[in-house]
């Protein structure tokens, strides 16, 4: 059996640098493969002090993913001092936060502001940037950085657009002509305010994530796009694009019931590694304890089987031949579910992440172009 410490030494020797980085450097996405695609580390992806874009189709798990980011922060000691702010612009996050993302996250989750009647969320683009600026001003006072999630940019209007809407409404009902460029203000505001916001993030070490809804593009070269202007991508350190993959079904009493979906995530922009990588991660509707969400352990096992590091074989158990997976480093043979339970109960998750990291870097090295760097 290969020890966890030995695996870490092998990876460090192979990469000729310290891998993984310190936990304080990155925030995990909750997916080992996605972390590796972003940073090269199995334990983290999002650098502190940066802004990120999360774009995706409807029902592709965007909200679950960004709430998973907050759950990861709540369980990472490096983010103990961070405020966890969820700007639920759409009002669509109706999950039981404790069951899905843990009591630690649920107890620390806060809205941008609170009024006499309860939480106050952004309604306009201007208000969003004012709320983020409030968080920055508070950091200057109490030293608490923040992770600010916006769900979503598409649900925000602007003061100019609202004024134009009211003018057109009045003009239509009075049969007169109304002037104004409805819908043009949002890209201008994003371009103007993102520059200021990214500077504030660098100073405070805070993180902001904007969710956007993907839309049909106008050409075969760009089948998907999103609203809000080019500045949303220009200022992003990374941009994630998600879409629904194959629906996961379970059989019960001869019937198939949907229990989850494979989410395909493409890193379309990456200022850390400069690589465009795509990973597939299952999200389940419900676990036995009532929660649900990202199944990273299952995804790790599938990855190791996909790259033939672990093999599916048939072995004789008693008088029967049983199909299963040979988990070499654990000296274990069993089905995928049996391996998952073994990893969970024996607390071998970190070791599994290191195994995936080792294979990931072997694949990356195998396809690297055989050239000498001119500047190394």
- Kindly state whether residue 34 falls inside one of the protein's structural domains: yes
Block residue for tokens 């019931």: 257
> Range of 141's domain?
17-294
The continuous run of DSSP H or E covering 137 comes out as helix 125-142
| Integer angstrom CA distances of residue 54 from 153, 273, 325 | 10, 18, 34
Residue 328 lies in a domain: no
Dist. CA 136–CA 248, nearest whole Å:
42
Rounded to whole angstroms, the Cα distance separating 69 from 336 reads 26
Task: Name beta bridge partners: 95.
Answer: none
Q: What is the CATH number of the domain that holds 58?
A: 3.40.50.300
Along the 376 residues of the chain, how does pLDDT read in single tens digits? 667 767 766 666 655 554 445 656 799 999 999 999 999 999 999 999 999 999 999 888 899 999 999 999 999 999 999 999 999 999 877 888 999 999 999 999 999 999 999 999 999 999 999 999 999 999 999 999 999 999 989 999 888 777 766 776 677 677 766 555 555 688 999 999 999 999 999 999 999 999 999 888 766 667 787 888 999 999 999 999 999 999 999 999 999 999 999 999 999 999 999 899 999 999 999 888 778 899 999 999 999 999 999 999 998 877 888 999 999 999 999 999 999 999 999 899 999 999 999 999 999 999 999 888 888 7
Q: Tell me, yes or no, whether 232 lies in a domain.
A: yes
pTM exceeds 0.85 for this model: yes
Say how far apart CA 65 and CA 216 lie, in whole Å.
22
Residue 86 near residue 149, CB atoms below 8 Å:
yes
In-domain check, residue 348? no
- Whether 105 is covered by a domain: the verdict is yes
Domain count across the chain: 1
According to DSSP, residue 227 is labeled S
Length of the chain: 376
Residue 73 counted as domain residue: yes
Handedness of CA 285, 290, 295, 296 (dihedral sign): positive
Angle, helices 185-204 vs 159-173, to 10°: value is 160
Q: Tell whether 100 is covered by a domain.
A: yes
11 within some domain: no
């Amino acid at each position: 059996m290969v020890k966890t410490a030995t695996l870490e030494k092998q990876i460090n020797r192979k990469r000729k640098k310290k891998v993984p980085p310190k936990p304080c450097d990155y925030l995990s996405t909750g997916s080992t493969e996605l972390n590796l695609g972003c940073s090269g580390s199995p334990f983290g992806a999002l650098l502190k002090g940066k802004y990120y874009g999360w774009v995706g189709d409807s029902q592709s798990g965007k909200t679950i993913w960004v709430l998973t980011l907050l759950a990861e922060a709540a369980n990472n000691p490096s983010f103990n001092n961070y405020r966890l702010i969820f700007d639920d612009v759409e009002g669509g996050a109706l999950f039981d936060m404790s069951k899905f993302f843990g009591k630690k996250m649920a107890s620390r989750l806060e809205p941008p502001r609170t009024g006499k009647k309860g939480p106050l969320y952004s309604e306009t683009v201007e208000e969003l940037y004012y709320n983020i600026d409030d968080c920055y001003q508070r950091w200057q006072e109490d030293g608490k950085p923040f992770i600010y999630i916006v769900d979503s940019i598409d649900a925000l209007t602007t003061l100019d657009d609202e004024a134009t809407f009211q003018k057109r409404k009045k003009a239509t009902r009075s049969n007169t002509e109304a002037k104004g460029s409805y819908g043009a203000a949002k890209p201008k505001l994003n371009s103007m305010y993102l520059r200021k916001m990214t500077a504030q993030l660098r100073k405070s070490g805070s993180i902001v994530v904007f969710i956007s809804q993907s839309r049909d593009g106008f050409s075969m070269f760009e089948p998907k796009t999103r609203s809000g202007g080019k500045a949303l991508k220009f200022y992003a350190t990374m941009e994630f694009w998600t879409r629904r993959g194959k629906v996961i079904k379970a059989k019960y009493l001869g019937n198939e019931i949907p229990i989850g979906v494979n989410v395909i995530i493409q890193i379309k922009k990456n200022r850390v590694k400069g690589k465009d990588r795509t990973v597939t991660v299952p999200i389940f509707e419900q676990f036995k304890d009532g929660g649900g969400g990202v199944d990273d352990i299952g995804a790790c096992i599938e990855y190791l089987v996909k790259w033939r590091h672990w093999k599916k074989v048939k072995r004789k158990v008693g008088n029967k031949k049983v199909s299963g997976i040979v988990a070499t480093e654990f000296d274990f043979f069993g089905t995928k579910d049996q391996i998952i339970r073994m990893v969970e109960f024996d607390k071998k998750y970190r070791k599994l992440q290191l195994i995936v990291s080792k294979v990931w870097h072997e694949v990356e090295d195998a396809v690297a172009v055989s050239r000498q760097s001119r500047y190394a």
